[in-house]
Structures are given as structure tokens and as C-alpha cells.
Amino acid sequence: MKHYKFEQVLFNDGWRSNVCISVDESGRITALGKEQPNISYESFHHYLIPGFQNAHSHSFQYAMAGLAEIHPKSSQADDFWSWRNAMYALALQISPEDIYSIAKMLYMEMLVHGYTNVAEFHYVHHDKNGNPFGNLSEMGERLIRAAKDVGINITLVPIYYEKGGFGKPPVDGQKRFISPSIDDYLKLYSASKTSCENYIGANVAIGIHSMRGVDPENIKNVACDFDKNVPFHIHISEQLREIEDSINYLGKRPVEWFAENIQMDDRFHLVHATHLTREETLSIANSGANVVLCPSTEGNLGDGLFPVKTYLENHGNWSIGTDSHIGLNPYEELRILDYGQRLTTHKRDTFVSQGNNDSGFFAFDAAMKAGRKAMNNFEMEYFKVGEELNAVIVDSKHPLVASSSMEKVCSTLIYSGDVRFNKGTFVRGEMVIDDGVHRDQESIGDSFVSTLKKLAVR
């Protein structure tokens, strides 16, 4: 048993003072509340908030963070599609050992920034020639091992990727991603589910790369008829060209087709959903489904802005992810999301609702709850007896925090915070980040640098 005491802890109804938390050997909370006699507590004169949920990650892309910013002088626009070619070139190179080294570094950085859970949208499945490994989930298993070794919770989302575009065969750059048939994908999913048994902090979800990446009938089959007890993730309506191609091939826009053919509920997580009509926006919100927004990546790729204001006015659910990992700061992801809306609406009240006028708390609460659903966790209480202690220690001595009243702390974090505000991270009751440092930080960094030098991508 471990026993902790915190100066302030954030609960669903606000901050509470001098909260004591006891956890058992599995990291689950056994007691929560006032100090009990005859118990020795480890005291933290800091604040505690629930851990952030990173609902969308492509771990291997961390190796190319910041590298696609030298733009060729040509008549062809440098856009998402040209960036994708650079990403394919990296994906064709990495070995199982490489993806482990890259993911280990990335997941450590996520922990430092306050993420305790990550949904890994994983599609680099096969060897460099495009052939399946003997263990179908070899690459996914390396991601799970990386998560286990650094101490982050992982939801592995093995991705069904079948086509090179609407009605088109895959291209050579996609050969490591492809499951040729629905049966091949179901075998991959089964192997991935088995791999998750290697780590108590791992579970599995279903994923389809995109509307353009899988035959429409197979999308319906996987979404409607297969393992309804886990979350379903899909990229959708990220790019304008994708929407044009969808209309030409299906006669419908991507979300329009999806809403008409799939009965969505809160197990569905639509990633990006950048370009929507009002009707599509309402269809997602009214279904109870979730969108996953990745503001730093969406901005970096020039994707566009999701219609947050309309979506929130209709009680839509949303979470955040770091996608290509051009940014890893959850506070920044949330404020970029808000600022994009402020620049288009010319209003500053994006993150408010009836009964809640605290933008910081609103953003934190919404992203945390939908993010948990992305990991198949439907517990909406921030901290609760019987649940794991996954949390971030906030530095109460940081001048901006120390000088704030408690009602202003959430907004101080969201609108001015960065990694310097974090003192530590708990995952399943263990403090895996202590004063900004992971116990294996040096060796993880050395391995990462060695891997990237070998790949010669930077």
C-alpha cells in the first residue's frame, strides 16, 4: 500500500483541500478523503489533476517531427499530400527495434507532459517488403513493450488499411500497412488483442484508417458487426481532396455517408473531421459519438479548423491527440483549439456552457471524459475508490499558480501552462515522472538518438 497527501486535488465539482489518497499494489485507489490516524502519508505540497488522455498517436512519426518545414521551390503546393510522401519514406525504413526505440522516447515525453494514457493508431504492421511477420502483431507488440517499459497506459488500435484511395489499389509506399481482406484484418486484430495481454496497462480497440482506405462494405461490416465492446477509431474528412473524391466515388461526403450507414454511439471516435457541413456536425453531436482533435498537427499540416462552436452548442463530445507529435503539450493543444475558434468567430467564449463559465475547466473536463472513452474507460469520476490513480502533480509554487485563487487555476494551466508547470506523473499509483525526470531518461534518449542517426532521417 502507498499513501499520498496533496494540498489540493481537482474533482468533478472543483478543488478540495488536503486530500489523502491510498493505493494498493495494483495502483487502484483504496481510500480517498481526509487524513486517517496511524497512517504515514507521503506529503506533496502541490496540486493533483487527473492524467491527460492522448486519444490519437502515430508514434513512428515522432522521428520526423519538425523535418517537413523546408519547402521546395516548385509550382506544386507543399501540402498534406506531399508531407504524406515523406511520412511514407520513413515508414518504409523502420524495423521493429526502431519503432520500439522511437515509441519509448515518445511515450516518456508524453508522461513528462502529463499524458497517462495513449491511443496508438497503429498501421505499420508488416516487414519492409510488405510481408506479414510470423507474429502478425510484431510491430504492435513493440509499441506495447515500449509503453510497459516507460510506464504509460496504452490502447493499441490496429488499423485496417486496404486501399490506396477510393476504389484504388494501394501504392508501394503503403505496402507495410495493408490488410488485403477483412479476414486478414480480423486476424491482425486478434493477434493484437493477444499481445495486449503482455501488459496490464494495455488494451485494444478497432480502427479503420479512413473512408478512402477501406472498401465501404467492409467499413460497415467492421463497424457494425465486429467486437462492439471496444472503441472504434477512424480518420475522416481531414482533407478537401478526400471529400471531393468521396463525392465522386460514393455520391456522399465522408461523414454524410458514415452517418447514413453506421449507427454511431459513444464508442465511435472520428479523428479530425475537419471539413463538415452543419448537418454533418449535428449528426455527430446528436449520435453521441466523439471527435478527436489534434490542433498542433492539424495546424502544421494546414488541414483546417473543426467547427467547434457549432458542435459544442449541440453538446458534442471531443478529445485531443498529438497525432504526428509536432507538439506534445496538452495545455497547448487545448488553447490552440480554442484560439482557432476565436479567430473565426471573433468571440472568446468557445469553452463555456450553461452552468459553466470557466473556459479552462470546461476544456479540461471535456477532453478528459471523451479521451477516457477513446481508451474504453467510461468512468467519468476524476478520482474514485476502485479506480487507478493516473494523475499529474501540478507545481503549486510556480509563480502564476501560486498567485492564483483556486477558481483561476484551471484557466491558468490551460491558457499559460507548459511542461514547467508539471512536477510529476502517476500511472497506476506509481510516480513514473519525478520532478520532470524519468528513471531511465538518459538511456532512452541515447537509444533514440542512435536509432535516428542510423535511419538518417534528420
Q: Which value, to the nearest 10 degrees, does the dihedral of the CA atoms of residues 300, 153, 146, 336 take?
A: 10
The H or E element containing residue 54 is strand 52-57
* Residues known to be catalytic: 272, 323
Q: Which residue has the cell 452552468?
A: 355
* Per-residue model confidence (pLDDT) at position 17: 98
DSSP helix, strand, coil percent of the chain (3-state; round to 5): 40, 25, 35
Percent of the chain whose pLDDT exceeds 90 = 90
Contact status, residue 160 vs residue 214, Cβ threshold 8 Å: yes
Percent of the chain whose pLDDT exceeds 70 = 97
pLDDT tens figures, 411-440: 999 999 999 999 999 999 999 999 999 999
Residue 443: half-sphere exposure toward Cβ, Cα within 13 Å = 5
* Per-residue model confidence (pLDDT) at position 75: 53
* Per-residue model confidence (pLDDT) at position 74: 64
- The CA distance from 223 to 124, in Å, is 21
* Per-residue model confidence (pLDDT) at position 354: 62
Q: Which residues of the chain have pLDDT under 50?
A: none
Domain ranges in the chain?
2-50+383-441, 52-374
The H or E element containing residue 212 is none
Contact status, residue 5 vs residue 42, Cβ threshold 8 Å: yes
The H or E element containing residue 332 is helix 330-345
HEC-encoded secondary structure of 131-165: CCCCCCCHHHHHHHHHHHHHCCEEEEEEEECCCCE
Domain 52-374: CATH class, spelled out: alpha beta
- The CA distance from 402 to 398, in Å, is 6
**Phi then psi for 50, rounded to 5 degrees?**
-60, 150
Cβ burial 276-287 (10 Å sphere, 16+ → b, else e) = beeebbbbbbeb
pLDDT tens figures, 87-139: 888 999 999 999 999 999 999 999 999 999 999 999 999 999 999 999 999 99
Q: Which residue has the cell 503546393?
A: 77
- The CA distance from 432 to 451, in Å, is 24
- CATH 1.10.10.10, domain 2-50+383-441, yes or no: no
Name 403's Cβ contacts closer than 8 Å, sequence gap at least 6.
Answer: none
Alpha helices in 266-329 (DSSP H): 278-287, 295-301, 308-313
* Per-residue model confidence (pLDDT) at position 118: 99
Q: Please give the C-alpha separations between residue 431 and each of 111, 210, 437, 438, in angstroms, as whole numbers.
A: 10, 37, 10, 9
pLDDT tens figures, 300-348: 888 999 999 999 999 999 999 999 999 999 999 999 999 999 999 998 9
Closest to 62 measured CA to CA, from 116, 23, 107, 22: 107
Contact status, residue 385 vs residue 30, Cβ threshold 8 Å: yes
- The CA distance from 298 to 179, in Å, is 27
